[in-house]
């Protein structure tokens, strides 16, 4: 479900206006390209329009909020690791869904700043390159589905960088294929090899 491109979800331009200053602050604070941050925001919650964005957890019962942080993995959850990232940047005076207390999984500023911090810690910078792919891959998880996730996230961000930020556009299939060939395919091949080796050991 996290890998379905929700281009059919028509998002009003007005809805996005509050996110731009948050993306800008996240980029300047953590040195991560805002298009990568926005692409993950799109992938995770369709820019915070998914029904459960601001309450509860996702269908898997593990993750929540605009950036779908895991709050159940132990001993310290992913959210707990970066939840205080908002203190490093200046909070906009006003934006939609500002919570009363911070940090909040459901506050757009808190969540997006935390995501940018996590991406930075995993090597992402301004360039939309292999380091950005690796950070997106780590954001989802190190498995075959994570490869597809990172391919799509980076392809979308690159597409925006080339053709302009488009709220309701889908991801170009050719760009996904190019990103996969450059970054995803070697990782997927290594995963496949490791799985095959483990299967032989079990026999």
**Is beta strand 69-70 parallel, antiparallel or unpaired with respect to 63-64?**
antiparallel
Cβ–Cβ < 8 Å for 22, 92: yes
pLDDT at residue 195, rounded to an integer? 73
pLDDT at residue 186, rounded to an integer? 97
Beta bridge partners of 69: 64
The residue ranges of the chain whose pLDDT is under 50 are: 1-7
* C-alpha to C-alpha distance for 7 and 115, rounded to whole angstroms: 22
Helix axes 34-45 and 144-163, enclosed angle (nearest 10): 130
Phi-psi region of 96 (alpha: psi -120 to 50; beta: other; left: phi over 0): beta
**78-120 per-position pLDDT tens digit:** 999 999 999 999 999 989 899 999 999 999 999 999 999 999 9
What angle (nearest 5°) sits at the alpha carbon of residue 142, between those of residues 198 and 171? 130
pLDDT at residue 197, rounded to an integer? 65
pTM for this entry: 0.92
pLDDT at residue 10, rounded to an integer? 81
Residues 6+ apart with CB under 8 A from 20: none
pLDDT at residue 201, rounded to an integer? 63
């Amino acid at each position: 479900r996290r890998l379905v491109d929700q281009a059919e979800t028509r998002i009003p331009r007005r809805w996005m206006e509050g996110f731009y200053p948050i993306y800008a602050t996240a980029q300047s604070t953590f040195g991560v390209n805002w298009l990568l941050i926005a692409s993950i925001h799109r992938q995770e919650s369709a820019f915070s329009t998914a029904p459960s964005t601001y309450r509860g957890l996702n269908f898997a019962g593990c993750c929540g909020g605009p950036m779908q942080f895991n709050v159940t993995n132990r001993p310290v959850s992913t959210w707990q690791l970066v939840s205080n990232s908002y203190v490093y940047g200046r909070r906009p005076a006003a934006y939609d869904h500002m919570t009363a207390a911070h940090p909040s999984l459901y506050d757009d500023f808190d969540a997006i700043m935390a995501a940018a911090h996590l991406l930075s810690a995993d090597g992402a910078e301004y360039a939309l390159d292999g380091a950005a792919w690796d950070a997106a891959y780590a954001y989802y998880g190190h498995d075959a589905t994570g490869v597809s996730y990172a391919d799509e996230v980076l392809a979308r961000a690159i597409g925006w960088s080339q053709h302009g930020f488009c709220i309701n556009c889908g991801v170009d299939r050719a760009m996904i294929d190019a990103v996969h060939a450059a970054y995803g395919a070697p990782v997927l091949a290594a995963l496949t090899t490791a799985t095959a080796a483990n299967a032989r050991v079990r026999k």
